[in-house]
Structure 1
Amino acid sequence: MKDKFAKNINRYRKEKGLTQEALARQLGVTYQAVSKWENEQAMPDISLLPEISKILKVSVDKLLGYISYDKQVTIYEKEYETSQYYGGVNPNPDCYKVLELMPPTKHLKLLDIGCGEGKNSVFFARNGYDVTAFDIADAGIEKTKKLADIVGVNVKVFKADILDFRLSTHFDILFSSGVLHYVKPDYRQEIFHNYKSFTNNDGMHFLNVYVQKPFIAPPPEKEPYSYLWKSGELLSYYHDWLIESCPEIIIDCNSSGIPHQHAINKIISKKY
């Protein structure tokens, strides 16, 4: 718990633009005390946790590293609870670009960000990648495990919120499809810095985001925690990487039973 608290208080303090001295002043403690918390040398008195939570605007559970949700975060949590696979079991076509550009001719660690019901994660594992995946939906995680068992492959899957989870180990490939619109704009720079920092040299990112266009009507699904991207925004985070491709396309969708369209920006980029 101490290590998780140290990382979280450091992260949320910086997100609020507070120095250790400023936080200490508001809490009525010394800056050395805050420094010890962030360096895993000590924990604050339990009576301080509510005030820390109030100042940093984050729950005590999150500060301590626990995942606790009292509200639905995505519209898919209920959809995944059915026996059928909501998104099917065939991989996203973008998975084949990973095979083409980074074939598993050697040991490659791949992270599937927001794996849903696991169709892409299982596809990658079946083709020889060392796959780790996470999602926020319990039902999606269980279906990922079930699909992996049926196919006979290993996928290391766990529950995490994309807003809270940060990489602490390196990967060769980061893959994400239809998930990054859950990242609030204020979090994007810090999250992508983390993703890039924990990508091995010669590693690649295969990502897509939904972008806002005035000629595309809002989707019929009502998602209160969805934040569309702007054209070119995703590309801006990869100015220092090699851009293999970055197309923007319009796709037809019928996921809700109501025909509609999405504007999507994809990026394939490589770290040198």
Structure 2
Amino acid sequence: MKETLARNIGRYRKERGFTQEELAQKLGLSFQAVSKWENAQSMPDIALLPALSQTLQVSIEKLLGYLSYDKPVTVYEEKYRTPEYIWGTEPNEACFRVLQLMPPTRHVKLLDIGCGEGKDAVFFARNGYDVTAFDITDAGIEKTKRLAEQAGVNVNVLKADVLDFRLDSHFDVLFSSGVLHYIKPELRDEIFGNYKRFTRPNGLHVLNAFVHKPFIAPPPENETNAYLWRSGELPGHYEDWYLYESSEVVFDCNSSGVPHQHAMTKLIARNMAV
């Protein structure tokens, strides 16, 4: 818990635009105290948590690393409650590129970022990958577990918010489809720095992100916590990796029952570090 709290204090302090000294002044402390918190050398006194929470504009539960929401943070919490798998159970075509570029001829650890109902995570597990997957929706997590059980495979599924989740162990493959637009622009450098730092040498990132195009209308869901990427922004995080693919596509969608279009960047990159 100490390391999680340390990381979160630093993260939310920076989000609010405070220096360590400014945060300390608001709490009536020395900046050395805040520095020790963020370096996990000490923890705030429990009596300080309400003031710290109010100053950083984040709940105590979230500071401590627990998810707690008064209302769903995505429209898919409700959509996933249907017995049907709204995205189907066939894997994304990008899954086959993972099989091609890093087949599980050895122990390969794979992380599915925002697994939804689990179709891709279960596909990877069926093919021999050691799969961890997370999603923010309880309904999606339950569907992922159910699909894995039906397939007779193990997927380590956990509940996490893509805004808060950070890697602290290494993976060979990071996979994500239709999720990265929930990452606020100001957090992308830090989050992708973490993803890259905890990817093993020769590891893969297979990702896509919705991008803004002035000729495409906003999607009917109109999610207030969605932030489209700019063209070229996603590959810009991988200038020091080898790019197998960096392309943009426009495609039709009917996920909400209203026909519409999306523009998407697709990226496949390999960590060439030795």
TM-score using structure 2 length: 0.95
Q: State the SS of the aligned residue for 1:251.
A: strand
The corresponding residue for 1:135 is 135
C-alpha separation in 1, matches of 2:189 and 2:40: 26
The corresponding residue for 1:9 is 9
- Once the two structures are superposed, the pairs formed by residues 40-59 of structure 1 within 5 Å of their partners are 40-59=40-59
Q: Provide, for residues 1-23 of structure 1, a one-character-per-residue CA deviation record: whole Å limited to 9, x for no partner.
A: 33321221122223444443332
- Establish whether residue 20 from structure 1 lines up as the match of residue 17 from structure 2: no
C-alpha separation in 2, matches of 1:17 and 1:241: 31
- Once the two structures are superposed, the pairs formed by residues 75-90 of structure 1 within 5 Å of their partners are 75-90=75-90
C-alpha separation in 2, matches of 1:114 and 1:139: 13
C-alpha separation in 2, matches of 1:2 and 1:240: 33
- Once the two structures are superposed, the pairs formed by residues 253-268 of structure 1 within 5 Å of their partners are 253-268=253-268
Q: Point out the more displaced range, 137-146 or 59-68.
A: 59-68
Q: 5+ residue gaps in structure 2?
A: none
Q: State the SS of the aligned residue for 1:24.
A: helix
The AA in structure 2 aligned to 1:155 is V
Q: Provide, for residues 169-200 of structure 1, a one-character-per-residue CA deviation record: whole Å limited to 9, x for no partner.
A: 11110000000111111111111111111111
C-alpha separation in 2, matches of 1:226 and 1:33: 35
The corresponding residue for 1:160 is 160
The corresponding residue for 1:229 is 229
The AA in structure 1 aligned to 2:30 is T
The AA in structure 2 aligned to 1:78 is E
C-alpha separation in 1, matches of 2:150 and 2:12: 41
Q: State the SS of the aligned residue for 1:146.
A: helix
- Once the two structures are superposed, the pairs formed by residues 96-175 of structure 1 within 5 Å of their partners are 96-175=96-175
Q: Provide, for residues 77-120 of structure 1, a one-character-per-residue CA deviation record: whole Å limited to 9, x for no partner.
A: 11111111111111111111111111111111100000001000
Q: 5+ residue gaps in structure 1?
A: none
C-alpha separation in 1, matches of 2:70 and 2:79: 18
Q: Provide, for residues 20-64 of structure 1, a one-character-per-residue CA deviation record: whole Å limited to 9, x for no partner.
A: 333222211123322332333432223322222233222221111
Q: Point out the more displaced range, 222-231 or 156-165.
A: 222-231
C-alpha separation in 1, matches of 2:13 and 2:235: 28
Q: State the SS of the aligned residue for 1:204.
A: strand
The corresponding residue for 1:200 is 200
Q: Point out the more displaced range, 17-26 or 156-165.
A: 17-26
Shift of 1:151: 0.3
Q: State the SS of the aligned residue for 2:97.
A: helix
Identical aligned residues as a percent: 65
C-alpha separation in 1, matches of 2:209 and 2:220: 18
Q: State the SS of the aligned residue for 2:220.
A: coil
C-alpha separation in 2, matches of 1:236 and 1:144: 32
Q: State the SS of the aligned residue for 2:107.
A: coil
Q: Provide, for residues 234-265 of structure 1, a one-character-per-residue CA deviation record: whole Å limited to 9, x for no partner.
A: 11111111111101011111111222111111
C-alpha separation in 2, matches of 1:36 and 1:247: 44
C-alpha separation in 1, matches of 2:244 and 2:160: 29
Q: Point out the more displaced range, 163-172 or 57-66.
A: 57-66
Shift of 1:215: 1.3
- Once the two structures are superposed, the pairs formed by residues 203-214 of structure 1 within 5 Å of their partners are 203-214=203-214
Q: Point out the more displaced range, 15-24 or 191-200.
A: 15-24
Q: State the SS of the aligned residue for 2:172.
A: strand
